[in-house]
Amino acid sequence: MLQPHTLAPTFVLASPDAEVDLAAFRQRQNLILLFVPAHQLEACAHALQAFQPVVPQLTELNTRLFVIAYGGDPAPSVDVASLPLLFDPTAEAASAFLGADACASARPALFVLDRYGEVWLAHVGTPWPAAREVLDTLEWVERQCPE
């Protein structure tokens, strides 16, 4: 698993509308990446909904959030609380972040990256850190790298 203060890899993943290149966010925005095994996306929907109310605060903190369904195709009817959804069907990106063992055991994970791609918060398994802890981390990042 990627540890805090390491540089995260970049990758291109499909969304329902287009491809998203996470390298395009470097030097522009912080990122929150929520990795969820595709077959658990529906079960994790409630946990994902906890992030919906803080989206305006994320915008103020120059941050984008993505839910990444890995290791298969999610059910088309799964609602991820109107959060941007990306697909990693081969789990290549998930393996790079979580490591092969955690990825193979199909565990959700959360990563907070600054605008330069440095990992500031890494958590594998549920429950995820509370939205307030994630916001505190982002506020700290913004104080360290104001622009």
CATH number of the domain within which 87 lies:
3.40.30.10
pLDDT above 80 for 81: no
Q: Residue 36 is encoded by which pair of tokens?
A: 């969820």
Amino acid 50: pLDDT: 86
* pTM for this prediction: 0.92
pLDDT above 80 for 69: yes
Q: Is 3 part of any domain? A: no
Give the model confidence (pLDDT) of 87-144 as tens digits.
999 999 999 999 877 777 788 999 999 999 999 999 988 788 988 999 999 999 988 8
Cβ–Cβ < 8 Å for 80, 50: no
Specify burial of residue 112 (Cβ count, 10 A radius: 0-12, 13-18, 19+): buried
Q: Find the domain containing 137 and state its range.
A: 32-144
Counting the structural domains of the chain, the total is 1
Give the model confidence (pLDDT) of 8-58 as tens digits.
999 999 888 889 999 999 999 999 999 999 988 888 888 888 888 999 999
